[in-house]
Amino acid sequence: MSKTPSTKLFDLIKSLSGAEKRYFKLFINSKDAASNKYVRLFDAIYSMEEFDEDALQKEVYGDEVVETRKYSELKAYLYDLVLKSLQFFDEKSSVDYRLKNMLLGVRTLFKRSHFDDCNDMLKKAKKVALEYEDFNALLEMLDWEKRIAYAQTNIAFLDRELDRITEEERGYLAQLSNISDYRSIFFKMLVSIRKDVSRSQKQREELTSLMKNPLMTSEGQALSHTAKVLFHRISSIYFFSVSKFEEFYQSGKTLIELMEGRPALLREDVSEYISALNNHMVSCGRAGRLGEFRETLDKLKKVKPITTDDAVKIHRQYYQGKFRLCINTGEFEEGLAELQRHLKEVKKLDAQQFIKNTFYLQYFCIYFGSGDYEKALDSLNDWLKLSGSVERKDLQSLARILNLIIHFELGNTMLLESLLRSTYRYLNKENRLSEFERKIMEFIREAGKPHSKKEMKQLFENLKQDFEQLSQSPAFGVFQLFDLVSWLDSKISEKPFAEVVRERFQARSIAEGVQGRL
């Protein structure tokens, strides 16, 4: 028996929900289970906060001498047992498992020549597979139809049904190919926007080229519900990437209506639905439809996760949306309360799922807006400690600019000169030094010199004027995470940053007619 690393077993058991743990105990259902070493090992791991090999061996073997081979076999046995119990647990709710079991039933009946029963089961399975668009299972069912007819030497059936079976096979293969082609477009677009978030001309040309694919001419090119979902997902991220925000909003709304029109499919898989709700929140925020934003946020919170990944995504995207709402409206006190709830909940989840996203920078904005500059700096340092990757280099650049701003607020003038040099080297090395980043660094360098109060105010006013001229630049989009203009206004007016953000939000709401849509 192969050895199972202890951390692998530990991670599997610690990922079990309460219901899955209870099911495992029912699954083993042994009178002497309490005396079995594998049960003691399971209970010890489940109650353990952090992995400790020595403590586990002590719990299972007591003062007995531990044989390495037997201990490894015990862990491997328990791993297989837990995995098997999870498979049985999933069978209760998964259509995929249900279809596989029905087809296994057909195989079992076929071996015993119960051909009529085979056909009855195939009819039931086909109805389920059609509802859930399981085209692979449908192809297997058609193959069984032919095999059963051949085994019965039912020439009349083959003569009558072979053309129909062949036509259905072609149709299902075409639908599978159609879905595969849409997925290829989707992933190519996803890779492009993740690798180049600067919205360069080269990227726009790449995305436009993908949208010229004949499959993207209309929804009618999509041959199934699954393909239609992919069509609208592709359209949605394209419109966002090229700043067509009204089209982004409309395509996202159509996508959600399409998904909600097939509730049976959502009971089987909600991962795409979670992403669609998140994107719709972004579009509502862009369009000023804050009432709809909040409705979508509440809808996301109520989604019942099917997988652990679903639970992580719901948590991640709900709090990202909630933080974004609080940051944009200036409700930093509410944001701080939500942040505390998030930090408590995230302890139950895999922290690695969050570090690649904007959470640390959102923490920064909430702490900054609440006036807690020390915690804001801690959050920024946590972000800056992360290793660089092809993902979100714009945010890495933003973090370095925010680092200059927070140290300026903290009055760390001695440190700012070296920070300016290192920031310039980083941005210049990455060939990402934009005009507004250059302006900020020039301002920080000048503001670090002795100035009168009037002179400092003029420096802030000059920087604000520069930024208002540069705000239409595509590269300026990253500063939507941190309201730089409100920060400058707070310095010019000598008002708290949070108060200025709220005032600017309310002014925009009235000007854009947002209040009527709340």
Rounded Cα distance, 239 and 243, in Å: 6
Q: What is the DSSP letter of 66?
A: P
- Indicate the range of 158-172, 343-357, 428-442, 480-494 predicted with least confidence: 343-357
CB-based contacts of 407, cutoff 8 Å, min separation 6: 377, 415, 416, 419
- In percent, the amount of the chain with pLDDT more than 70 equals 89
Give pairs for 4-12: CB < 8 Å, separation 24+.
4/72, 4/75, 4/76, 4/79, 6/51, 6/53, 6/56, 6/75, 7/51, 8/79, 9/45, 9/75, 9/78, 9/79, 9/82, 10/45, 10/48, 10/51, 12/79, 12/82, 12/83
* Cβ atoms 366, 336 nearer than 8 A: yes
- 119 burial via Cβ count (<10 Å: 0-12, 13-18, 19+): middle
Rounded Cα distance, 31 and 180, in Å: 50
Residue 365 identity (one-letter amino acid): C
Nearest to 515 by CA among 326, 288, 293, 296: 288
Kindly report the CA angle at 381 between 375 and 384, in degrees rounded to 5?
150
Which of 192-196, 326-330, 464-468, 476-480 holds the top average pLDDT? 326-330
Nearest to 313 by CA among 348, 361, 278: 278
The answer on pLDDT for 516 being more than 50 is no
The answer on pLDDT for 473 being more than 70 is no
Of 3 and 199, the one with more pLDDT: 199
Of 504 and 480, the one with more pLDDT: 504
The pLDDT, as a whole number, for residue 352 is: 63
Q: Which residue has the tokens 């002014």?
A: 507
Residue 287 identity (one-letter amino acid): A
- Indicate the range of 20-24, 78-82, 122-126 predicted with least confidence: 20-24
* Cβ atoms 82, 13 nearer than 8 A: yes
- Residues 267-279 pLDDT 10s: 889 999 999 999 9
How many other β-carbons are positioned within 10 Å of the β-carbon of residue 139? 16
Rounded Cα distance, 250 and 247, in Å: 5
The pLDDT, as a whole number, for residue 435 is: 80
The answer on pLDDT for 282 being more than 50 is yes
Of 200 and 19, the one with more pLDDT: 19
The pLDDT, as a whole number, for residue 515 is: 40
The pLDDT, as a whole number, for residue 141 is: 97
Instruction: State the helix-helix crossing angle for 373-385 and 393-409, rounded to 10 degrees.
Output: 150
Of 18 and 177, the one with more pLDDT: 177
Nearest to 15 by CA among 71, 91, 101, 82: 82
Rounded Cα distance, 57 and 63, in Å: 9
- Residues 301-327 pLDDT 10s: 999 998 888 988 999 999 999 999 999
The answer on pLDDT for 294 being more than 70 is yes
Distances (CA, A) of 514 to 58, 250, 285, 288: 64, 17, 11, 6
The pLDDT, as a whole number, for residue 197 is: 61
The pLDDT, as a whole number, for residue 499 is: 95
- Residues 193-216 pLDDT 10s: 887 666 678 888 999 999 999 999
The pLDDT, as a whole number, for residue 492 is: 94
Taking residues 430-441, report their average pLDDT: 76
3-class secondary structure per residue, 17-38? CHHHHHHHHHHHCCCCHHHCHH
Of 39 and 127, the one with more pLDDT: 127
Q: Which residue has the tokens 């998140």?
A: 278
Encode 329-356: b = buried (16+ Cβ within 10 Å), e = exposed.
bbbbeebbebbeebeeebeeeeeebbee
Nearest to 406 by CA among 372, 456, 382: 372
Of 384 and 327, the one with more pLDDT: 327
Q: What is the DSSP letter of 390?
A: S
The answer on pLDDT for 241 being more than 70 is yes
- Indicate the range of 188-197, 237-246, 349-358, 497-506 predicted with least confidence: 349-358
The pLDDT, as a whole number, for residue 31 is: 46
The answer on pLDDT for 427 being more than 90 is no
The pLDDT, as a whole number, for residue 518 is: 35
Quick one: how many helices (H) and strands (E) in the chain?
A: 25, 0
Put residue 52 in one of left, alpha, beta given phi > 0 → left and psi -120 to 50 → alpha: beta
Rounded Cα distance, 112 and 498, in Å: 75
Taking residues 375-383, report their average pLDDT: 91
- Residues 326-363 pLDDT 10s: 998 999 999 999 999 999 888 777 666 665 557 888 99
Put residue 62 in one of left, alpha, beta given phi > 0 → left and psi -120 to 50 → alpha: left
The pLDDT confidence band at residue 111, using thresholds 50, 70 and 90, is very high
- Sequential DSSP letters for 423-471: HHHHHHHTT---HHHHHHHHHHHHHTS---HHHHHHHHHHHHHHHHHHT
- Residues 83-96 pLDDT 10s: 999 988 887 778 88
The answer on pLDDT for 513 being more than 70 is no
> Dihedral of the CA atoms 296, 300, 303, 306 (nearest 10)?
140
Nearest to 40 by CA among 26, 70, 60, 18: 60
CB-based contacts of 103, cutoff 8 Å, min separation 6: 125, 137, 140, 141, 144
